[in-house]
Amino acid sequence: MIITKNHIGGLIFLCLSIAYGYYAGQIPLLPGDEFEAFHARSLPFTLALLGTLFSIALLVTSRFDPKQKLRLGGHDFALVAQLLVLVMLFAVALDWLGFLVATVLFLIGGYWLLGVRSIKTLFIASVPFAVFLWFALSQLLDIYLAPGKFFSAIFGG
Amino acid sequence: MWDGIFTGLATAVMPFNLMMVVVGCFAGTFIGMLPGLGPISAVALMIPITYGLDPSSGIILMAGVYYGAVFGGSTSSILINAPGCASTVVTAFDGYPMAQQKQAGKALALAAYSSFTGGTIGAIILLFAAPALASVSLSFQSSDYFALMVMGLTAVAAFSGKGQVIKALMMTVFGLMIATVGVDVMSGTPRFTFGSVDLIDGVSFLLLAMATFALAEVVMTVLKGQHEEEEVQMDMAALGSMKLSKDEVKHVAPTIARSSVFGFLVGVLPGAGATIASFLAYGLERNLASAKEKLKFGKGALRGLAAPESANNAASTGSFVPLLTLGIPGSGTTAIMLGALIAYGIQPGPRLFIDNPDVFWSVIISMYFGNLVLLILNLPLIPYISRLLAIPRPILIPLILFFSITGVYLVSFNTFDIHMMVLITVVAIFLKLLDFPMAPMLLGFILGGIMEKNLSRALTISDGSFDFLWDRPLTLTIMLITIFLLVLPLLGLLRQKIYPPKGPEAALNEGEG
C-alpha cells in the first residue's frame, strides 16, 4: 500500500484537529457563559469538528496513486536546517551583540553556507550593507537599536 | 462620488505618494522577476516598510508593488521562460517562443501595452463599480457579514484547483484555528496560550505572512537547490525592436479589450484572482480564434500573449473590489493588504469610502498612475532591470532572508518573534511539500477574528438560533451562492470525466496569487 501526500496530510490534520478540540475544552469560561448562545469555546469546538471532518474526507477520497507519493530525495534538508539555525542564532546575537554585529555575522554566515568562499566578497557584501542599514535606521530614522547585552555589560549603558 | 475622486486625486498626486507608486512599481518588478517570488511575497516583504507610513501612502506602495510584481513576472516569463508567479505562467506559452524568434522586445512591449490597457480598463470599471457596491453593502448586517466571510473563504477553496479543494478548506480551518490563539476579545479569556506571555496577543499577522510567503518561499528555493543554478545570461542586443506595427495593433486590440473586461470580472470574484483570469482569458481567446490562428497558439501568437497579460492585470485591479467594498480579499495578495489595513486601524468594508475616503479613492487613482509608471518608466528600463537577475543567488538569498526577519523584528523588537517565524517556516515548508496551498490559511487567519465577532453578534441577536442564516433574503442569497461554490468543484470534476481537458487548461491547478 502506498502512503501518499494526501494521506500524510490528512492524518496530521486529523491529529491536530483532535488535539485542538481537546485544548478547546480547557478554555476557561466565565460564570454563566455555558448558558450563552456564543462563548469563547464555541468557535474552537466548531473548527475542531470541521477540521476532523475535512481530514477524514481527505483520507477517504485520496487514491493510492504512486505519483502522489511524498518524495524527499533531491531536497537539501541539511542546508535548510543550517540556514534556519543561523536565523535562530541571529535572534540570540541580536540580544547579545546588537543589530550591527549580528547583521554582519548573519550575512557572512548565510553567504558562507550557500557556497561563497571569497573572503573579499564575504566582507564587501556584508559590512557596508550592515553599516548603511544601521546608520539609516538609528541615525536617519531615529529608531533605537539596543547595543546588545554583551557590550552593555562591558561598556555600561 | 466626485468629491471622493478629487480627494483621492489630491492624495494620490502628492509628491511623496507619487514617489511611492514609482518605488513600488520598481521594487515589485524586480521581486516579481525572481523565479519563485510572486506578488504575494513581494507585498509581504513591503509590509514592515509601510508600517512607518500613513495608511494611504502604505497601501499605494503595496498596490504599486502588486502590479509591478505581476509585470516583473511577465518579463521573466518572456525572457527566460521562468514565470515569477502563477499568474504569468500563461504569458510564457506565447511570450517565450516570441523571444526565441528574436522578438523579445516586441513581446515585452505587447505585454506592457496589454497590462497597461488591462489595468486602466480595470481601474475605470473599479472607479464606478466599487462605490456602487459599497453603497449597496451599507445595508449589510452582522448576519450578512458572517455569510459573506464564509462565502469568501469557500470561494478561495473552490477556485484552488483540481484535487486541492479539501486541502484548501483544511488550510482555511487551520488559519481560523491560528486566529483563535490569544485573548478572546469578547470574554477576555486566554485561548491556546499554554501559559506563554508572548502568545497573549495572539500570532502577529505580519509574522505569519512573512514566515509563510517570504521566508518559506526563499527557503524552498534552497531546498530545491535552485540557489546553485547559474545566473541567467541574457543577450540584451537580441531583444529586437520594441515597436508594434499598425496591423499588429489592429489584430490584438479586440483581444485586449475583451480580455480586460473578462479579467476584471473574474478578479472581482472572491478567491479567483489573476491566475485563473489569465488561464481563462487564454482559453477564451483560443476558442474564439479561427482554425488557422489556433495553430499559432503556443508558438508565438500575439493574441495568445495579449490575452493573459490584459486579463491578469485587470483581475489584479478587480480583486480590489471585494477588498475595498466588502472587506473580503479577492486574492492572496489582497489578503495581505487587508491585514495591513487592519493593522493601520482601518476596517475595509462598506464604510471605508465614507470613513476613509482618502484611502479608498487614492488607491483607485494611484492604480492608474501605477499602470502609467509601468508603461513609461519600466518598459524602457527593462533591459537594465533584467540585469539585476544576474546577482548571484548565494548573495541574494541571505539578503532576502535578512529583510524578512528584520522586517518582523523591527516592528516588535522581540526576538521571540524570530524563533516563532522559524517554527512557522518549518511547518509551512512541510505543508508545501505535501502540496497544501498557503493563501487560504492566511485568508482564514485574517478573517477569523472579524468572522467570530459577527457570528457572535448574529447569534446573540437571534437568541442562539441559526435562523439568521436564512431569515434575511440577502443572507440566504449569499449562503446559497456559498453552497453553489462548494458544489462547483464537483461539477467541474464531472465535466472533466465527460470531456477530458486538452491543451494548456490542463495545467490550471494553481489558485494562489
Chain B CB contacts of A23 under 8 Å are 192
Average pLDDT of chain B is 82
Spell out the long-range contacts of A96-100 with Cβ–Cβ below 8 A and sequence spacing 24 or more: A96/A148, A96/A149, A96/A150, A97/A148, A97/A150, A97/A151, A98/A145, A98/A146, A98/A147, A98/A148, A98/A150, A98/A151, A99/A134, A99/A137, A99/A138, A99/A145, A99/A146, A99/A148, A100/A130, A100/A131, A100/A134, A100/A145
| Inter-residue contact B243 to B109 (CB < 8 Å) | yes
Give the three cell numbers for residue B475.
443572507
Does the pLDDT at position B513 exceed 70?
no
Query: Residue B393: what pLDDT?
Result: 83
Q: C-alpha angle B249/B252/B256, rounded to 5°?
A: 115
Contact A87 B405 (CB under 8 A): yes
Does the pLDDT at position B90 exceed 70?
yes
What one-character DSSP code corresponds to residue B182?
A: E
| Inter-residue contact A143 to B410 (CB < 8 Å) | yes
Beta bridge partners of B182: B191
Give the three cell numbers for residue B88.
504569468
Rounded Cα gap, residues B170 and A54, in angstroms:
6
Q: C-alpha angle B61/B62/B63, rounded to 5°?
A: 90
Choose, out of B222, B411, B419, B438, the residue to mutate when testing the contact with A (most A CBs < 10 Å): B222
Query: Residue B162: what pLDDT?
Result: 62
Chain B CB contacts of A77 under 8 Å are 223
Burial of B173 (0-12, 13-18, 19+ CB in 10 A): buried
More confident: A39 or B80: A39
Please tell me which residue of chain A has the smallest CA distance to B461.
A37
Span A74-78, mean pLDDT?
88
Please tell me which residue of chain B has the smallest CA distance to A116.
B394
The ipTM assigned to this model is: 0.91
Query: Residue A121: what pLDDT?
Result: 92
The string of DSSP codes covering A98-113 is: HHHHHHHHHHHHHHHH
Rounded Cα gap, residues A3 and A65, in angstroms:
9
Query: Residue A114: what pLDDT?
Result: 93
Q: What are phi and psi of B241, to 5 degrees?
A: -70, 150
Who among B225, B406, B459 is closest to A37 (CB)?
A: B459
Chain B CB contacts of A91 under 8 Å are 405, 409, 415, 418-419
Rounded Cα gap, residues B132 and B251, in angstroms:
34
Does the pLDDT at position A149 exceed 80?
yes
Rounded Cα gap, residues B210 and B43, in angstroms:
10
Rounded Cα gap, residues A24 and B167, in angstroms:
23
Structure confidence at residue A157 as a pLDDT band (50, 70, 90): low
Give the three cell numbers for residue B4.
471622493
Query: Residue A127: what pLDDT?
Result: 94
Span B171-197, mean pLDDT?
90
CA distance A5 to chain B (A): 5
Please tell me which residue of chain A has the smallest CA distance to B452.
A43
- Helix H, strand E, coil C: the string for B184-215 is CCCCCCEECCCCCHHHCCCCCHHHHHHHHHHH
Rounded Cα gap, residues B128 and B269, in angstroms:
17
Rounded Cα gap, residues B412 and B37, in angstroms:
25
Reported as a single tens digit per residue, the pLDDT across B385-402 is 767 767 788 898 898 888
What one-character DSSP code corresponds to residue B81?
A: S
Query: Residue B161: what pLDDT?
Result: 63
Rounded Cα gap, residues B435 and B458, in angstroms:
36
Does the pLDDT at position B124 exceed 80?
yes
Query: Residue B471: what pLDDT?
Result: 87
Q: C-alpha angle A23/A27/A31, rounded to 5°?
A: 155
Beta bridge partners of A4: A69
Span B11-17, mean pLDDT?
86
Range of lowest pLDDT (A96-110, B145-159, B229-243, B331-345): B229-243
Does the pLDDT at position B240 exceed 90?
no
Query: Residue A117: what pLDDT?
Result: 92
- Residues whose CB falls within 8 Å of the CB of residue B263, separated by 6 or more in sequence, listed in order: B118, B122, B274, B277, B278, B281, B310, B311, B312, B313, B314, B315, B318
Reported as a single tens digit per residue, the pLDDT across B344-394 is 888 777 777 778 777 878 877 877 788 888 888 767 777 777 677 677 888
Query: Residue B112: what pLDDT?
Result: 86
Give the three cell numbers for residue B335.
489578503
Range of lowest pLDDT (A99-108, B331-340, B397-406): B331-340
Chain B CB contacts of A111 under 8 Å are 394-395, 398
How many percent of chain B have pLDDT more than 90? Answer: 11
Q: Which of B141, B90, B99 is nearest to B309 (CA)?
A: B90
Query: Residue B421: what pLDDT?
Result: 92
Query: Residue B72: what pLDDT?
Result: 83
Give the three cell numbers for residue B267.
478578479
Who among A40, A141, A146 is closest to B187 (CB)?
A: A40
Does the pLDDT at position A1 exceed 90?
no
Reported as a single tens digit per residue, the pLDDT across B434-448 is 989 888 888 888 888
Residue B450: enclosing H or E segment and its boundaries?
Answer: helix B439-461
| Inter-residue contact A91 to B414 (CB < 8 Å) | no
Phi-psi region of A65 (alpha: psi -120 to 50; beta: other; left: phi over 0): beta
Query: Residue B509: what pLDDT?
Result: 46
Query: Residue B440: what pLDDT?
Result: 85
- Residues whose CB falls within 8 Å of the CB of residue B238, separated by 6 or more in sequence, listed in order: B102, B104
- Residues whose CB falls within 8 Å of the CB of residue B32, separated by 6 or more in sequence, listed in order: B38, B39, B42, B68, B69, B70, B71, B72, B73, B75, B76, B84, B85
Give the three cell numbers for residue B399.
539578503
Give the CA count within 13 Å in the CB-facing half-sphere of B14.
16
How many percent of chain B have pLDDT more than 70? Answer: 90
CA distance A80 to chain B (A): 6
Strands B182-183 and B190-191: antiparallel
Does the pLDDT at position B234 exceed 70?
no
| Inter-residue contact B38 to B65 (CB < 8 Å) | no
Give the three cell numbers for residue B246.
499598425
Cα torsion through B42, B48, B49, B54, rounded to 10? 120
Rounded Cα gap, residues B371 and B117, in angstroms:
8
Structure confidence at residue B510 as a pLDDT band (50, 70, 90): very low
- Say what the pTM is: 0.79
Beta bridge partners of B183: B190
Please tell me which residue of chain A has the smallest CA distance to B228.
A114
Structure confidence at residue B511 as a pLDDT band (50, 70, 90): very low
Does the pLDDT at position B26 exceed 60?
yes
How far apart, in Å, are the Cα atoms of B247 and each of B97, B253, B311? Answer: 20, 10, 22
Structure confidence at residue B70 as a pLDDT band (50, 70, 90): confident
Span B238-264, mean pLDDT?
86
Reported as a single tens digit per residue, the pLDDT across A35-57 is 888 889 999 999 999 999 999 99
Residue B183: enclosing H or E segment and its boundaries?
Answer: strand B182-183
Residue written as grid cell 455555558: A34
Query: Residue A113: what pLDDT?
Result: 95
Query: Residue B236: what pLDDT?
Result: 60
